[in-house]
Amino acid sequence: MRLVVCGTDTDVGKTVVSALLVQGLGARYWKPVQSGLDPCGGDTGTVEGLLNLPAERLVPEAYRLTMPASPHWAAARDGVQIEADRLNLPRGNDPLVVETAGGLLVPLRLDWLQIDQLERWQLPVVLVARSGLGTLNHTLLSVEALQHRGIPLLGLVLNGPLHPDNPRTLEAIARVPVLAELPPLQPLSAEGLAQQWQRLDLASRLKQRHLALADKQQAE
């Protein structure tokens, strides 16, 4: 399975969810645009260290930008321009998890948004959102943007303390499934992610949703 992990906002937990999916699917990991470099090596370094991945499971970033900012601005500060042709998907049909930078409408350039790149890839999306207050507006706007562009949406992952109502409300209004509610993991570890993968039965949920989207596309 090849999919893209997107977020409704900054710091909603995309990298943790990406690591969960990379481990569970036995996939390669690719962060096409990294804005902001830290001692860990950015999100690629975080996923590598957390899962102890070999080099062949990590696709090098197309852009490694110094400043932790919107990609278009970070690129300008580094004296480069993000080009869509450098963001072509890695070859092959092996499992792949792509993690985007920021939310759907973050500009890669002033004339090229993240969602434009998603439309070009046409990979199914897992949308990561906060579990608590404020998530309804952010998530529903993001779902609407994806649906407007015809970008397939596998479902939602709500990251953070479990909420008694938000999952039900989001499923009812957005008409897409909440694939998982991922509670905070202390400590965050590969073993903890593996336990959550099994507990949430994510393998079968993703497969069922992937088949449902394929059937829908054939019907259309």
Integer Cα distance of 17 and 105 in angstroms: 20
Q: Could you give the C-alpha distances from 135 to 143, 166, 195, 196, in angstroms and in order?
A: 12, 8, 26, 22
Per-residue tokens: 115: 């969602």
Instruction: List all residues 6 or more positions away from 208 whose beta carbon is below 8 Å from its beta carbon.
Output: none
Q: Among the residues of the chain, which ranges form H helices?
A: 14-25, 42-51, 71-77, 114-121, 135-149, 166-174, 190-200, 202-219
Integer Cα distance of 47 and 128 in angstroms: 16
Query: Which amino acid is located at 214 in the chain?
Result: A
Which of the residues are catalytic?
Answer: 31
